[in-house]
Amino acid sequence: MTEFGAVHDGERASDSPTMGSAPRVCRKCGAQIFADAPEGLCTACLFETGLDLLTNASVAADDDGGCPENIKATDSDVARYSKKKSNLPKTFADFGDYELLEVIGRGGQGVVYRALQKSLNRTVALKVIGLGHWASDAHLKRFRREAEAAASLDHPGIVPIYEVGERDGSCYFSMKFIEGGQLDEVVRREPMPIRRTVELIAKVARTVHYAHDHSILHRDIKPGNILLDAKGEPHLTDFGLARLVETESTVTRTLEVLGTPSYMAPEQAVGNNDAVSSVTDVYGLGAVLYQLLTGHPPFAGGTTYETIKLLLDTEPRQPRLWNAKIDRDLSTICLKCLEKDPKRRYSSALALAEDLERWLKHEPILARRIGIITRGGKWVRRNPTSGLLAASLVALAAAAGWIIWKSDFTQHPLTTGIAVLPFENLSDDKEQAYFADGVQDDILIKLAKIAELR
């Protein structure tokens, strides 16, 4: 495993790992791959090339009455693959009980197809994670266990899993096909209004809470894993499938799935799997909310390393600085989800959903705004050396100020004084004027006897 973990399939090329093996580019799709990638292809293209070879073998068997020996992927095989798909109007390959119709998503670890399940004559989404020769019994056992646990969830906001299996070293699972598309693709075409965004995240948060009640964490909540149906209702997918590979395997250096950098919580970024909990998913919900409100993820660097460095060392920019239409309460809710200390986030996805619903009803929210003192304390905890230096400078400045003030006090000691003003005769008897003057003189004489009184 790399220093900060690894990244989930579906990430951008700019988010691919840059540590460990030197990255190269897949000769077919252009995605970044590691130097030891077989055939110079990413796992997704390697899997597709294998399907192409199986199709070639089937065609050759039909033509020659046998199967060709020593089939090996070549550049011409890869080049023929795209052409072959266009020549096959209904399917471009078979995968057991499934006819693969078209690619609807792809990433570093696998491919998602729109497929026809022949035995039930239904259209499904088929996700294939092509581990190939890296697949071990431990991998397949872990995959099946987590996928079957996710398949036990029965909620209208969770994409149901139909079947989990393995074929030729490739893990796969079929799930309900959602027509609307991924959330990130939808908002890329048309930004989502603020109120609609809050309504959507509140629904997803309640869905996540349902899974937590059934002891299942998601661990990779991001816009690409939220699907919208034809009515615009959200459906969360890839539940429980965010960690497919066992840590003892050598494949973890390149393929272990811990999350997507721009949306992963700090405890995930440092590889502290023991600290991953339900509030880790709360962070992911907050990151998606931030993305939808501002048009930017909370943290985004040029590489995975840079993104995670920003995630660990800096605070997210105030959402209101990206979008002035975001009010202070909504900004406060969003930033509470993104607290680096898990204890400072919402205690559950349900608590987040309820605060969002309070905002929708124009009711007071429970989240408190972060003050300057709190922000300063958080900065000092993240930067103890700089904090100690700043504290030393403040102490030095205070000491210097005290010395200067003390010196000035010594040179110009303060004195205690009192003034006695002349008394005025307010009576009609003018002869009483002498009495008023005498009172002033008498008071001055008596006060002069008091030591240190001027």
- For residue 49, the 8-state DSSP code is H
Whether residue 308 contacts residue 265, with contact meaning beta carbons closer than 8 Å, is answered with: no
A 10 A CB-CB count for 303 gives: 17
Check: CB of residue 165 under 8 Å from CB of residue 47: no
Residue with tokens 């403040």, as numbered in its chain? 394
For 424, other C-beta atoms within 10 Å of its C-beta total 7
Strands 32-34 and 110-117: unpaired
Neighbours of 138 (CB within 10 A): 13
- Contact between residue 214 and residue 349 where contact means Cβ atoms under 8 Å apart: no
- Burial class of residue 243 in the structure, from the number of CB atoms within 10 Å of its CB (0-12 exposed, 13-18 middle, 19+ buried): buried
Task: State the Cα–Cα distance between residues 115 and 88, nearest whole angstrom.
Answer: 14
**H or E segment and range at residue 235:** strand 234-236
Q: Give the active site residue among 9, 52, 220, 355.
A: 220
Closest CA to 150 of 74, 76, 208: 208
Task: State how far the Cα of 241 lies from the Cα of 256, in Å rounded to an integer.
Answer: 11
402 vs 409: CA distance, rounded Å: 10
- Is residue 220 annotated as part of the catalytic site, yes or no? yes
Q: Which of 177, 184, 171 is nearest to 221 (CA)?
A: 184
Which positions are catalytic?
A: 220
